[in-house]
Amino acid sequence: MNYELIDFNVMGDETGSLVAIEGLGNIPFEVKRVYYIYGTTSNAVRGRHAHRNLQQLIFCPVGSCEFTLDDGAERRTVRLQRPNQALYITSNIWREFSGFSHDCVVMVLASEVYNEDDYIRDYEEFLKEVRK
Ligand code: TYD
């Protein structure tokens, strides 16, 4: 399946840690948008959509969270639980986020500005499009 878990270099000393992300530097796209999600309830399921044309890098800088990824052929679950690890996903992957720790913050870097037309929010429609 077309996703990648990327471990970023941690620059730190005894006073703390720092992770730096540079568009077209240590990630393969220019960042046009950043959004973050917090205050999620432990039983919440978010996402439940795919994108037609979007690259995203997803971090859990605080806490942990589970991502179920589906490309229409198979389903995989990955858990983000380290502040320097990110999930890189591109188009045509159905994603669901769940298993939020009480303190979870999900931070997403995206290659495009928000565009509702880029979303596929119906699972049957998603299967139709990826199987074309
Ligand atoms: P949505 O993408 O459905 O959230 P999630 O995938 O976490 O379940 O977005 C929730 C709402 O926020 C929806 O009304 C669209 C809006 N939104 C924006 O206005 N801009 C954005 O960049 C994002 C990601 C969402």
Q: Could you report the per-residue pLDDT of 56-105, keeping only the tens digit for each? A: 999 999 999 999 999 999 999 999 999 999 999 999 999 999 999 999 99
Q: Which atom of ligand 1 is nearest to the CA of 37?
A: 7
Spatial CB neighbours of 36, under 8 Å, sequence gap ≥ 6: 105, 106, 107, 108
79 CA to middle of ligand 1, Å?
21
Phi, psi for 52 (deg, rounded to 5): -80, -35
10 CA to middle of ligand 1, Å?
29
Give residue 119's pLDDT band: very low, low, confident or very high (50, 70, 90): very high
pTM of the model as a whole: 0.95
Percent of the chain's residues with pLDDT above 70: 100
The pLDDT value recorded for residue 11 is: 97
Q: Mean pLDDT, to the nearest integer, of 24-40?
A: 97
Question: Please, are residues 63 and 102 in contact by the beta-carbon 8 Å criterion?
Answer: yes
For residue 17, pLDDT beyond 90: yes
Q: Which atom of ligand 1 is nearest to the CA of 49?
A: 6
The pLDDT value recorded for residue 49 is: 98
| Per-residue tokens: 67 | 């991502």
Question: Please, are residues 55 and 88 in contact by the beta-carbon 8 Å criterion?
Answer: yes
Give yes or no: 102 in active site. no
